[in-house]
Amino acid sequence: MSSFNFVEPYLRSVFGFLGVTDATFRTAGGTAALNHGQDRDAFLAPHLQVVQSHAQAI
């Protein structure tokens, strides 16, 4: 599936142009479930925990 990831390389290019060269990207796969009635907050909770733990480690 990595061949379908066009967003991360694009953002790396834009951020690099702006001078930001150290960026970590986290994915939130399975977002299609939100279209089928899954609660948004319940879906995002584990992903936000990963981002927050990464931010605290820096």
- Does residue 5 have a pLDDT over 90? no
Q: Which of 32, 12, 14 has its CA nearest to residue 22?
A: 12
Q: Domain count for the chain, please give it.
A: 1
Whether 45 has a pLDDT exceeding 90, the answer reads yes
The band of 11, judged by pLDDT with boundaries at 50, 70 and 90, is very high
Query: What's the Rg (C-alpha) of the chain?
Result: 14
What pLDDT was estimated at residue 53? Answer: 93
pTM score of the predicted model:
0.63
DSSP string, 32-52: GGGGGT--HHHHHHHHHHHHH
Long-range contacts of 21-26 (CB under 8 A, 24+ apart): 24/54, 26/50, 26/51, 26/54
